[in-house]
Structure 1
């Protein structure tokens, strides 16, 4: 059946190139769910694996586990089940197929209709544009309640709010010496916000994060401090380097795009470079990063590990997505805690599951949990503002 083989390969290539239509996607899913087409799927995945991971030994990949996840159960359920791998690491190529259903919706900017029943007693809505701006005099502006337009004046900077979740500092020309006012923008759990600094640099704040910055950048440096997670697009100025302080570390920048993740309840901090160049200083160590590299370090040690990462997985939180790659239950639930403003309680042993997939951050929490629950041996229960996580023994 060479025609059938060619058709499946064509559809797989269209999926990878993000050009597949919804009808063709459903056709592809039906093809790879049939046992007689298994060999075509295997051959294609090996080819992709060699391209994506030239040093990988494809014989060590558990294709049976992955294929069983795709074809197991009812059609709709299997589309959810492909999001997870139990107690196992998968390759980039395997992750590609495992995210196929939600990935299609993401690539085509369409909402996902899961058509599932929630077993939750209550549901929780996703986070939104919420933040508090603390001014130099100690007064606070709750931004989600504030009217759009000019909010206040800080030195020679007018502070304005727009309706798309942006706070903008427009620095006016100063006559003579300028007084600098230190402000802090902070997001609660379940909040996010975007900031334009006085030098026109842009900052996206994730949930439960903050940035402290001056109303004007005077002197020889542009210095800010961050907690939690923030994504920066820094305006270039060779005469005035940009500096991000994060407690035990600092990042030196001239003009670039990078992500800072320094949540105190995460095991390690991570600085990821998308464009340009940065230098990370941590305790007694320093590293220069190249685009596509991530620096991993611990606040209590001086070592810095550099590795290459999938940049989409790091920064697509600002584009409304959770992207999980071999993420443990604890890692996933910490993100859920921050974004849905909820506490997590484990009943018994923490399930040994790795999640891989693309999920919208705009879903109510019950839909997200239903997808995660498709692993088959994990259960979630929502009690008011607490999510209970329980291992299911089979």
Structure 2
């Protein structure tokens, strides 16, 4: 029975278990009813492992060690400890448990289709934390995880980079030039992302190939942001001085909330996903207020709203992974921006639906191999061009 449990565990981590097999694992590990608890326990064990000690070829050994450690943990811990784990937020476990281990990607398989042999792939690494900051005097500053930044601003105060890489604005009392307007722009390249804390403590995460422009002082009627690309916002509530975010043909009025906007110039729509709080989306004469779990799509003078959507899919990029539920073309657009590659299609499957999760920390080669496991597509890398074939 023990060897059978090991096999079921490996199948579970690879998202290949039946409901009956999952029930066997839950019973063995004394998990009452929630599979999400099982995921969290496994995730916590994986986090204890030193990933630098393992190569991809050693994954089975690593999974077996996680299994044995989890088994010992369950046996040692009391019921009170289990209840403690059950009460903890499961967001992390729900995110990328399977990606950290084997890289799960699940899609409908075509019966009888042979697995195509992977061509020789180049090792293209994932994107990194990098951006540029252009300040009021026209100076452009390179932002990365190695350089230090501590600059005085013409309108008073300073801009600094914290040890965790965040950019923050630090006030410095009133000066004669405190009313001077400075235009600031933070821009990420393809293969880059960045995080900034604005003067009112609004936290902004910028995805690849994105930019935000705003004025200092960032207060009163000057609390305006122009966005191109994609960004996630956590806005401190201030009903007297809301933030206005403009992107393409859309404006978002924000009082205090957490939300994601995707507004790439080459995308057909502007998509706003509300995680918590409330925002008002305007598009020409149309005006819609979103509730948590709502997602609006703006195009021309139209706004369509979907309710009770999976908000984690929209913000997964901020948390370090891709979460897909859409066409191959949508998936490859995200991959192109993060890995700074060009996509060329030589098939007719770009509109077919794919679903899954993949860590953004993997190499491009790993990501494409995982998608290829669907047996629907085949990839060839030529320099920084990815060719998509049947």
> Given the two structures, how large is their TM-score scaled by the length of structure 1?
0.71
The residue number in structure 1 matching 2:324 is 324
In structure 1, C-alpha distance between the alignment counterparts of 2:349 and 2:283, rounded to whole Å: 32
2:378 counterpart of 1:379: yes
For residue 169 of structure 2, give the secondary structure of its aligned residue in structure 1: strand
State the Cα distance separating 1:356 from its structure 2 match: 1.2
The residue number in structure 2 matching 1:368 is 367
In structure 1, C-alpha distance between the alignment counterparts of 2:141 and 2:356, rounded to whole Å: 37
State the Cα distance separating 1:286 from its structure 2 match: 0.4
Q: Deviations over 1:187-237 (max 9, x none)?
A: 000000001101111000000000001222243351111010000011122
In structure 2, relative to structure 1, the CA distance for the partners of 1:125 and 1:151 (3 Å cut) is: farther
| 2:40–2:93 Cα contact (<8 Å) kept | no
Aligned runs of 1:337-348 on 2, under 5 Å?
A: 337-348=336-347
State the Cα distance separating 1:107 from its structure 2 match: 3.6
In structure 2, C-alpha distance between the alignment counterparts of 1:166 and 1:217, rounded to whole Å: 18
For residue 335 of structure 2, give the secondary structure of its aligned residue in structure 1: helix
Q: Any unmatched runs of 5+ in structure 1?
A: 26-75, 77-101
The residue number in structure 2 matching 1:34 is none
Query: Considering only aligned residues, what root-mean-square deviation do their CA atoms show, in Å?
Result: 3.0
In structure 1, C-alpha distance between the alignment counterparts of 2:312 and 2:155, rounded to whole Å: 38
The residue number in structure 2 matching 1:16 is 36
The residue number in structure 2 matching 1:106 is 96
> Given the two structures, how large is their TM-score scaled by the length of structure 2?
0.72
In structure 2, relative to structure 1, the CA distance for the partners of 1:347 and 1:215 (3 Å cut) is: same
In structure 2, C-alpha distance between the alignment counterparts of 1:385 and 1:305, rounded to whole Å: 37
In structure 2, relative to structure 1, the CA distance for the partners of 1:308 and 1:141 (3 Å cut) is: same
State the Cα distance separating 1:164 from its structure 2 match: 2.7
Q: Deviations over 1:215-262 (max 9, x none)?
A: 222433511110100000111222211111112111111111111111
The residue number in structure 2 matching 1:353 is 352
The residue number in structure 1 matching 2:206 is 205
2:242 counterpart of 1:241: yes
Give the number of aligned pairs: 310
In structure 2, C-alpha distance between the alignment counterparts of 1:258 and 1:349, rounded to whole Å: 34
The residue number in structure 2 matching 1:290 is 291
| 2:36–2:94 Cα contact (<8 Å) kept | no
The residue number in structure 1 matching 2:309 is 309
In structure 2, C-alpha distance between the alignment counterparts of 1:113 and 1:330, rounded to whole Å: 20
In structure 2, relative to structure 1, the CA distance for the partners of 1:14 and 1:223 (3 Å cut) is: same
For residue 303 of structure 1, give the secondary structure of its aligned residue in structure 2: strand
In structure 2, C-alpha distance between the alignment counterparts of 1:384 and 1:4, rounded to whole Å: 43
For residue 17 of structure 1, give the secondary structure of its aligned residue in structure 2: helix
In structure 2, relative to structure 1, the CA distance for the partners of 1:104 and 1:210 (3 Å cut) is: closer
The residue number in structure 1 matching 2:66 is none
In structure 2, relative to structure 1, the CA distance for the partners of 1:140 and 1:287 (3 Å cut) is: same
In structure 2, C-alpha distance between the alignment counterparts of 1:367 and 1:274, rounded to whole Å: 30
| 2:296–2:303 Cα contact (<8 Å) kept | no
Aligned runs of 1:248-267 on 2, under 5 Å?
A: 248-267=249-268
In structure 1, C-alpha distance between the alignment counterparts of 2:213 and 2:22, rounded to whole Å: 57
For residue 338 of structure 1, give the secondary structure of its aligned residue in structure 2: helix
The residue number in structure 1 matching 2:333 is 334
In structure 2, C-alpha distance between the alignment counterparts of 1:309 and 1:370, rounded to whole Å: 29
For structure 1, which segment, 124-133 or 149-158, has the greater mean C-alpha deviation from structure 2 after superposition?
A: 149-158
Q: Deviations over 1:24-64 (max 9, x none)?
A: x9xxxxxxxxxxxxxxxxxxxxxxxxxxxxxxxxxxxxxxx
In structure 2, relative to structure 1, the CA distance for the partners of 1:388 and 1:286 (3 Å cut) is: same
In structure 2, relative to structure 1, the CA distance for the partners of 1:238 and 1:348 (3 Å cut) is: closer
